[in-house]
Amino acid sequence: MRAQTRRLSFGQTELDGTDIRILQVLQDEGRISKSDLAARVHLSNSACFERMRRLEQSGIIRSYHARLDLDLMEDLQIFQTHVVLGSHRQEDFTRFEAYVAANDMIAECYGLGGGIDYSLTCVARRISDYQGLIDDLLSRGLNVERYYTYVVTKQVKRREIGIDRLLG
Amino acid sequence: MRAQTRRLSFGQTELDGTDIRILQVLQDEGRISKSDLAARVHLSNSACFERMRRLEQSGIIRSYHARLDLDLMEDLQIFQTHVVLGSHRQEDFTRFEAYVAANDMIAECYGLGGGIDYSLTCVARRISDYQGLIDDLLSRGLNVERYYTYVVTKQVKRREIGIDRLLG
DNA sequence: CCTGAAATCTATAGGTA
DNA sequence: TACCTATAGATTTCAGG
């Protein structure tokens, strides 16, 4: 009896169980060598290679990153900011998101539904730097109606969001 | 005139400008080859390798990860949940955080100060799975006083949080 | 921090089902 | 099409300066 092969479509691309396993491994061990990866998914180097390249070129794998230990970083304040816009025209969203993309104190931004429009994670060296960000945000005519600031006191958990939840 | 060398301490470890540059590069290009990294920071292979290992062993670099394109992932719902606890004894925090650590639908969790205690990012295949998570959370006697659910409609931005903000 | 040689890994070409 | 083996070339590791 063969193991059941889960198939998923990601935009244009169809993924089989082996692709998903590759993604899973790379999500957890982003710097694993390609030969170790091939062994892990029971494939020859070249076959595994070809799949990995397909996953990168199709955009399913966007990028690779080292994750640093925030708790070891002194001189670093993290804030979470919840933003409500004054009106919800397409243009309001576009302009706000362009601002977020361009501002490099903003590390993360989720668009939300249900009473808050955006949740931001902001990185600053001092509170005054954060306040500078907020002042700037409010002075740009981005139609921010309300915002709420929360100091991040602890990074309890941070995992990549993704594929592992689609299995099982 | 020498370039100014910024120094930072991360817990036990002292970092110089070259270490910081290495961290910066690895944060952005987690799968860069070690020789390319050495060239990028103007160091010989072996010197750069030695530093990289020090950064990994000291725990400043925790891990490496592939980042997948969430917008391409069908069958995946993301929720943000804001949690207020009923009381703030040390034990309440410890137990809540242990729950978060153990539950693999919860991908991210920040501890906050300022009216909300925790912000969670949850991954589910269906809304009913998310509701199952909430039901479970509430049935564990974790002293959750209130929670607020927001559907994530768009991942506007996601960058590693870290070192780059400490420069400039 | 450097050099250099041995061990390992990667990319590609050519073949099988 | 998807996979395999083989191999030349590149990279990584490590000993010694």
What radius of gyration, in Å, describes the C-alpha atoms of chain A?
Answer: 20
Interface of A with B in 64-83 (CB under 8 A): 64-70, 72-76, 78, 80
Q: Is residue A168 part of a domain?
A: no
Task: Note the CA–C1' distance, A33 to C16, in angstroms.
Answer: 27
pLDDT at residue A5 greater than cutoff 80: no
Task: Confirm if B133 and B124 have CB atoms less than 8 A apart.
Answer: yes
pLDDT for B167 equals 62
| CA distances from residue B48 to B10, B53, B108 in whole angstroms, order as listed | 19, 9, 32
Alpha carbons B157 and A148: distance in angstroms, whole number: 19
pLDDT for B8 equals 73
Q: Is residue A105 part of a domain?
A: yes
More confidently predicted of B145 and A69: B145
Q: Is residue A3 part of a domain?
A: no
pLDDT for B131 equals 97
pLDDT, tens digit (0-9, with 9 covering 90-100), for A91-140 = 999 999 999 999 999 999 999 999 999 999 999 989 999 999 999 999 99
What radius of gyration, in Å, describes the C-alpha atoms of chain B?
Answer: 20
pLDDT for A2 equals 37
Residue of B119, B97, B107, B27 lying closest to A118 (CA atoms): B119
pLDDT for A150 equals 98
Answer yes or no: do A67 and B70 touch at CB < 8 A: no
Lowest-confidence range among A16-25, A69-78, B2-11? B2-11
Give the confidence band of A12 by pLDDT, cuts at 50, 70, 90.
Answer: confident
pLDDT for A102 equals 97
Q: Is residue B159 part of a domain?
A: no
pLDDT, tens digit (0-9, with 9 covering 90-100), for B72-98 = 787 789 999 999 999 999 999 999 999
Q: Is residue B30 part of a domain?
A: yes
Mean pLDDT, rounded, of chain B? 91
Give the range of the structural domain holding residue A37, as residue numbers without chain letter: 8-65
Q: Is residue A102 part of a domain?
A: yes
Q: Verify that A48 and A74 share a domain, yes or no.
A: no
Answer yes or no: do B156 and A100 touch at CB < 8 A: yes
Number of separate domains in chain A: 2
Chain A CB within 8 Å of residue B165 CB = yes
Give nucleotides in strand D with any atom < 7 A to a protein C-beta. Answer: 2-7, 11-16
Q: Verify that A87 and A128 share a domain, yes or no.
A: yes
The pTM (predicted TM-score) of the whole model is 0.88
Last-in-domain residue among A65, A82, A101? A65
pLDDT at residue A7 greater than cutoff 90: no
Residue of A66, A79, A125, A68 lying closest to B15 (CA atoms): A68
Q: What is the CATH number of the domain that holds A108?
A: 3.30.70.920
pLDDT for B115 equals 94
Q: Is residue B1 part of a domain?
A: no
Bridging pattern class, strands B77-85 and B61-68: unpaired
